[in-house]
């Protein structure tokens, strides 16, 4: 009688675990090696029909690929951590969200913007992207992106200020906004 799938895997595991473990430990730290061993036998379980009768070379090849994937993943994680550690804010300016009071004021101001204008502002001012790069991130043309950003009032402009008449594009829909909409001074 032919062994069941579970019995075949159990025999494969019992026979090859010590050698696969030794293989992984020679190539990685104990924690990483144990993860690789587990992943190797998980692949063997999933692909049990593909495992040849002489399973050890197949298991070594699988373990080698699992360990290579771990190394690539660890390298990507380390590179990401380094980029994040060095990213900071543009030109050494403090992050607007560093202080709770500033964060609350910022949230209130951002809530007054349309979703498109808020995204445009965040991409350029907060994330430091150029107009062209921000347009690509938003999935639109530079012209369409410029229209998104032009609906937000320029900082410091008030409806009664002479500069608001000089910059009508800074007023949403080219209409004057009410004093109640003006940010607090």
CATH of the domain at 139: 1.10.10
Last residue of a domain, one of 52, 87, 122: 87
Report pLDDT digits (tens) over 88-103.
555 556 655 556 666 6
Segment 156-168 shows an average pLDDT of: 43
pLDDT of residue 12: 96
pLDDT of residue 31: 94
Domain tally, the chain: 2
pLDDT at residue 177 tops 70: no
DSSP string, 130-173: -HHHHHHHHTS-HHHHHHHHTTSPPTT--TTSHHHHH-GGGSGG
pLDDT of residue 170: 43
CATH number of the domain enclosing 49: 1.10.1740.10
pLDDT of residue 145: 75
CA 31/CA 40 separation, integer angstroms = 14
The rounded radius of gyration (Å) of the Cα atoms in the chain is 29
pLDDT of residue 137: 74
- The structure's pTM equals 0.47
Longest alpha-carbon distance in the chain:
94
Q: Is the same domain home to 83 and 125?
A: no
Q: Is the same domain home to 74 and 103?
A: no
Q: Is the same domain home to 50 and 100?
A: no
Q: Is the same domain home to 105 and 161?
A: yes
Q: Is the same domain home to 102 and 133?
A: yes
Q: Is the same domain home to 61 and 79?
A: yes
- Range of the structural domain that residue 30 is part of: 5-87
Last residue of a domain, one of 87, 119, 144: 87
Pick the range with the lowest mean pLDDT from 17-31, 79-93, 132-146, 148-162.
148-162
């Amino acid at each position: 009688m032919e062994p069941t799938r579970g019995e075949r895997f159990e025999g494969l595991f019992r026979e090859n675990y010590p050698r696969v473990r030794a293989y992984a430990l020679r190539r990685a730290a104990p924690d990483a090696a144990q993860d690789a061993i587990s992943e190797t036998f998980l692949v063997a379980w999933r692909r049990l029909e593909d495992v040849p009768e002489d399973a050890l070379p197949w298991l070594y090849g699988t373990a080698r690929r699992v360990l290579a994937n771990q190394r690539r993943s660890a390298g990507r994680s380390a590179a990401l951590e380094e980029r994040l550690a060095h990213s900071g804010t543009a030109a050494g300016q403090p992050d607007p969200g560093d202080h709770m009071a500033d964060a609350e004021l910022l949230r209130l101001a951002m809530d007054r913007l349309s979703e498109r204008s808020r995204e445009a502002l965040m991409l350029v001012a907060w994330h430091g992207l150029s107009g062209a790069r921000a347009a690509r991130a938003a999935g639109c043309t530079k012209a369409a992106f410029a229209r998104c950003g032009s609906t937000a009032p320029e900082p410091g402009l008030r409806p009664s200020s002479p500069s608001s008449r000089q910059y009508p594009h800074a007023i949403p829909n080219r209409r004057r906004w009410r004093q109640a909409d003006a940010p607090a001074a």
